[in-house]
Amino acid sequence: MNLKLKGKVAIVTGSSKGIGKEVAIELAKEGAKVVLNSRTASDIESVKMEFLNNLGVSENDIIGIPADIRNDEAVKKMVVEVVQYFGTIDILVNNAGIFEAKPFDEIPPDDYLRFYDINVVGSIRTTLAVLPYMLQKKWGRIIMMASENGPQPDPMMIHYNLTKSALINLTSSLAKAYGSSGVLVNAVSPAFISTPGVEQMMKNGAETDGVPVELYIKKFQEENRPNIKLARMGTMKEVSAMVAFLCSERASYISGANFRVDGGSVGSVN
């Protein structure tokens, strides 16, 4: 399927690893000009070299910009640099964020502020910075990377859950505010995806229980994700494929929606 993304300029925050990196790869393969972003310049440069050497991406079609989404000025500076380099911005994938598993009574109140600032306000900062360019051309795609933990909270990640619910709400709000101006906003909610972070969590759990990782994953799924009938973790490619589709002209009548890439993990109809 030709997604007609050739030449589109896409910023993917938190794209030095995990789902963000996979999304950047998918968009680059579809012909988009990709902006890699992370807090650390060396991480971005390393990923950029992977794109140039392994994907055949041209130097003219990729740029890496270190910027902390917690910093207003850093975000504004990044967007200005993108426009100076590529001339415009068409797509924003708000992927950067943090997560951890911790019981409620071990989460200090300040951690809620920290998670909210990064996972929610960080996406607001980047969206505010790119929006004028999208409105000017009456075309834009904004994707919020949410989670199954938004509609289906996990008891061990309450501070994280709240931020992902907020992102889904933000998605709907922005879609209503800017849909008539040609800017489409959607959320993608992965669940139990084989990312480096989740793999490390599974490894840690296996070590604690003293069992092989494969057995711990099976136990974790049965106890915590019983609605996944596919009997496996999802892949980052399965998430990035959905993101790429929503960024394309093929998704021209979709806005304000939350797409769950969860293998059926969320049991509700909403």
> Which are the catalytic amino acids?
160
Q: How far apart are CA 66 and CA 58, in angstroms?
A: 20
Q: What are 127's two structure tokens?
A: 């969206």
Torsion sign, CA atoms 77, 94, 250, 238? positive
Return the number of other C-beta atoms located less than 10 Å from residue 3's C-beta.
Answer: 21
Cβ neighbours, 10 Å, residue 213:
14
* Sheet of 258-261, strands arranged across: 62-66, 33-38, 9-12, 91-94, 140-145, 183-190, 258-261
Beta pairing class for 33-38 and 9-12: parallel
